Each structure stands twice: as structure tokens, then as C-alpha cells.
Amino acid sequence: MTSRLCRATLSRLPPAVRRPRYDLERIEPGIVHLGPGAFHRVHQAWYAEQWLATDPRWGIVGVSLRSAALREALAPQDNLYTLAIVDEPSSLEVIGSLRECVVVAESPERALGCIASHKARLLTLTVTEKGYCLGVDDHLDFAQPDILHDLERPREPRSAIGLVVEGLRRRREQGLPALPVMSCDNLAGNGRLLGAAVRALAARADRGLAAWIEAEVPFPCTMVDSITPATTSALRSAVATTLGVHDAWPVQREAFLQWVVEEHRALESPDWSAAGVVVTRDVAGHERAKLRLLNGAHSTLAYVGLLRGHQTVAEAMNDATLAAEVRRFMLEDVAATLSPVAGLDVPAYVAGVLRRFANGAIRHELAQIAWDGSKKLPVRILGTVRDARRLGRPLDRLCLPIAAWMHFVRRQSAAGAAIVDPLAARLAALARDGTNGDAAADVAAFLGLEEVFHRDLAADPAFRESLQRTYRRLADGGVNLT
């Protein structure tokens, strides 16, 4: 049987494989992270690796709300795993900052105890947009099933928001200081949204706790970026071949990495800048540019690329017509809606994004990017559409990813394929029973999804007409883009 990656096998790894530069025995759990998925493990955990080289207080406890898969994979490996940097040239690094994986569904007391520990210094989250349980108005949805459960049984939370509230309540009860709570998800104003949701849930049960959170707990905004394809059997095989040992769950990302954090007095440590983190007062400017330029273009490539028969981002970028349309989408349509950001050269940023998309060494599946469209499109595209309307600018190219998403949903439903989305059942039913290929009728049916389209856009004639035109152009399989 092939040996597993673990502390005992670290010394046997090839010299070219980077490994922890610190004593794993001395690491303390200073960061509690909710949602230790692939992005967290290639991003925040890598930054923690840099801090641990000089300060042992920044180890990570990963907290999964339901799935035990990561714990089962990494526990036999002493929670070590391999990060593959997929570029030209590629490289491998063993990450040791994740020291424990806890599953709330199995051990809620253990998870809450980690947040309420005197060693905890930072609470971070990557739970995707849907994990914040927000309604169409971006406020906490008190009708959401997990939130309803947490209102009835707050000491046994199921939601990420409920877990944060109960963890903070215990810290207050024990006389421990507050700790910063930091969203690292792609949500505009993520810190403000998270803070408002936490305070809203806390206020339902204990206004004193809500007031303490308001006064003591910072919720800094952040912006994160790095293309992170899903782990594949090919990656597992390649990693095992290079290491000479088996890693049950390696992860991969591109070489580019970015983390922008809002300046706050409570964030004096760790040494953010030493690890390459940008600390600024204008996270919103960086965030808006990234969400609208990079993420908006990503969704456009995904939905249109799938219609045109492509499977990966790099393959879609080899489609000259589509690549040119995405470039115009960024430079001519999105950029016109952005306010200037200090230090951000938009044309250079766009050029860099397009180079990253064209990286043939990394296999980023368009189908993965297409997941959760009902949550992604409002933050990636619809804000740009609103600003374009206000500025009197054309909308057709901005409607391209929206119309392509509608076609994507119809195709998935017609093929009986899964729609990975919080609104999956409704989308499947709408595509099956509420659309027939007629642009006006189909667009009207989708615009009725209030969770996706606010009434201002759904009732806007110019937006509706532009969306219908674009929908018709894509009806032949996404060929007619211009």
C-alpha cells in the first residue's frame, strides 16, 4: 500500500517540494475558519503558512457545517495537504497551517468551543454567497430553514450566522475579548452584510448581545482572488507521482493570489503586509473592480462558453470570437461604470485577467463556474447593468451572461441534468413548465424570479428589450455573439 502524506513522510519528499518551515508541534489555533473548502485551503491557509514561519499563534481550525469529507481525508495525514501552483512552471507545496477539522453536525460543542477559546484571534468565513442566508434585499432571511432552526434552538446552530452569534455569545459570557469576524466570500460589502446579519439574528434573542457585538466586534470588508479549479483524479495522480506518497485531497490554484483587507485597529496582527496582504481603507473600490471585471467576465465565459460547446476557461479563451467579446465586455461596458481606484490601472488589470484566463496549464471547468448562478449574477452583473442604465449606456453586451444563464438553465432542465443552485428546484420547474423558446415569454418568466431580479430591473423596459434581443441571438447555440 502506498504511504500517506503525513508528518512521518515529510522528510521523504523530493527536495523541490516546499514544506512547512516551522515546528508543527508548536502551532496554536489562532484562526477559526468556517467553510474550509478548496478556496480557503489555497488562499487564507497559504497566507497563514507565511505567518507561521515567524509566529506560531496563527494555526487554523477548519469548521465544516455538515460534511465530514475533509476531516476524513486529512486526519490520517496529520491535516497536511498539498497545494499545486499550476502555471509555467508548476510547483508543489505542503501546507501545515490547517491543524484540525471540526464538523458542526457531529460536534457542535467542539466547534463552538473553538470560537470561544482564549487562543482564537480571528474568525473567518468562506461559505459561498448562499451561506449567509440573505434575502433578495441583502438582509438576513428569517424564513430561511436554518435561520428558523437557529431562532428556535440558538445553542445548537446550523447556519454559519447562527454559529457566529452563539460563538460570540459564549465569548462575552466567559469575559473573553471580542475577535474580528471576516468574510472572505465574493459579496460586495461582505463585512457589512455579515455584520448586519449577525446583529439581526442576535437581536431576536438578546438585545444586549447585539449591542455588545455592535460595539466590540469588527466585521472588516475583504476582497479575495485566485482561480481555484476543483480537485480532479488527474491532480491526485500527478501529486502522488511527484511526492512518492498519497495525498487524499490536494488542491490547486493559479500563481496569482490577492487578499485585500479593510484597515481596522483590531487587525494589528498578524503581520498582514509581510505575507503580501493589502490593507486599505478602499476595499470597496478593489472589490467592485474585481467582482465586475474578473468575476463578471468569468460568468460570461462560463455560460456563453458552455453554449458554444467549450468545457474549460482556457478552451473558451481559445475561441477568438468569444475572447474578443469578453474583452470588449470588460473594457467598454464594465470599465465605464467604475469609479477611479487609487493604484488600479484598469487596462493593465484587464490584460492581466485575460492572461490568467488563457493559462492553459490550469483546467478550470466552466460548469463549476456556472454553479449558483442565481446568487452570483446579482453581485457580478446586475449592479453593472443598473449603473449602465443610470449612465445611459448600451446594455446588450452586459445582458450576454444573463441571457446565456437562462439558456443554460433551460438546457440543463431539458437534458435532465443537475442544476447546482440554491433555487435549483424552482429553476428546473420554470424551465420545464414556464418557457418554450419564445424570447419575450421566456425572459418574462425568468424576470419573475424576485430572488434574482429586483423589481426595478424586472420592470425596466430597456433592460427587458435588451435581454430579449440577446436571448434571441443566443438561441442558435450561442454562435451569434455580435
In a domain, 316, yes or no: yes
pLDDT attached to residue 476: 67
In a domain, 427, yes or no: yes
Report, in this order, helix, strand and coil percent for the chain, each rounded to 5: 50, 10, 35
End-to-end CA distance of the chain: 56
In a domain, 1, yes or no: no
In a domain, 482, yes or no: no
pLDDT attached to residue 343: 74
Q: Residues 48-58: pLDDT tens digits?
A: 999 999 999 99
The domain boundary, picked from 230, 247, 281, lies at 281
Domain range enclosing 295: 284-476
pLDDT attached to residue 1: 45
Count of structural domains, the chain: 2
pLDDT attached to residue 480: 67
| Helix axes 400-414 and 296-307, enclosed angle (nearest 10) | 40
User: Is residue 305's pLDDT more than 90?
Assistant: yes
Q: How confident is the model at residue 401 (pLDDT cuts 50, 70, 90)?
A: very high
Q: Do 354 and 324 meet the contact criterion of CB atoms below 8 Å apart?
A: no
Q: Residues 32-45: pLDDT tens digits?
A: 999 999 999 999 99
**Same domain for 393 and 346:** yes
pLDDT attached to residue 475: 86
In a domain, 264, yes or no: yes
**Same domain for 216 and 184:** yes
Q: Give the E-state strand segments of 158-306 in sequence order.
A: 181-183, 222-225, 251-253, 258-262, 278-280
The domain boundary, picked from 281, 298, 315, lies at 281
| Helix axes 461-473 and 439-447, enclosed angle (nearest 10) | 130
User: Is residue 481's pLDDT more than 80?
Assistant: no
Instruction: Report, in angstroms and rounded to the nearest whole number, the Rg of the chain calculated over CA atoms.
Output: 23
Kindly report the backbone phi and psi dihedral angles of residue 420, in degrees, each rounded to the nearest multiple of 5, phi listed first: -85, 100
**Same domain for 195 and 207:** yes
Q: Do 147 and 141 meet the contact criterion of CB atoms below 8 Å apart?
A: yes
User: Is residue 258's pLDDT more than 60?
Assistant: yes
pLDDT attached to residue 3: 94
Q: Residues 312-344: pLDDT tens digits?
A: 999 999 999 999 999 999 999 999 999 988 778
**Same domain for 250 and 214:** yes
pLDDT attached to residue 439: 95
**Same domain for 306 and 223:** no
**Same domain for 159 and 133:** yes
Q: Which residues pair with 224 in a beta bridge?
A: 259
pLDDT attached to residue 88: 80
The number of residues making up the chain comes to: 482
**Same domain for 298 and 249:** no
C-alpha distances in angstroms, 166 versus 9, 127, 227, 331, 425?
A: 39, 17, 33, 45, 31
**How far is it, in rounded angstroms, from Cα 409 to Cα 89?**
37
In a domain, 366, yes or no: yes
Place of cell 448562499: 130
**How far is it, in rounded angstroms, from Cα 65 to Cα 149?**
14
| CATH number, residue 377 | 1.10.1040.10
**Same domain for 306 and 275:** no
Dig out the grid coordinates for 417 from the structure: 441534468
Residue-wise DSSP of 19-41: ---S-GGG--EEEEEE---HHHH
Q: Residues 185-224: pLDDT tens digits?
A: 988 899 999 999 999 999 998 999 999 999 999 999 999 9
Q: Which of 231, 124, 119, 227 is nearest to 171 (CA)?
A: 119
| CATH number, residue 252 | 3.40.50.720
The domain boundary, picked from 281, 297, 317, lies at 281
Q: Residues 70-109: pLDDT tens digits?
A: 999 999 999 999 999 998 889 999 999 999 999 999 999 9
Q: Residues 118-138: pLDDT tens digits?
A: 999 999 999 998 999 999 889
**Same domain for 255 and 334:** no
> What is the average pLDDT value for the chain, to the nearest integer?
94
In a domain, 49, yes or no: yes
Q: Do 279 and 267 meet the contact criterion of CB atoms below 8 Å apart?
A: yes
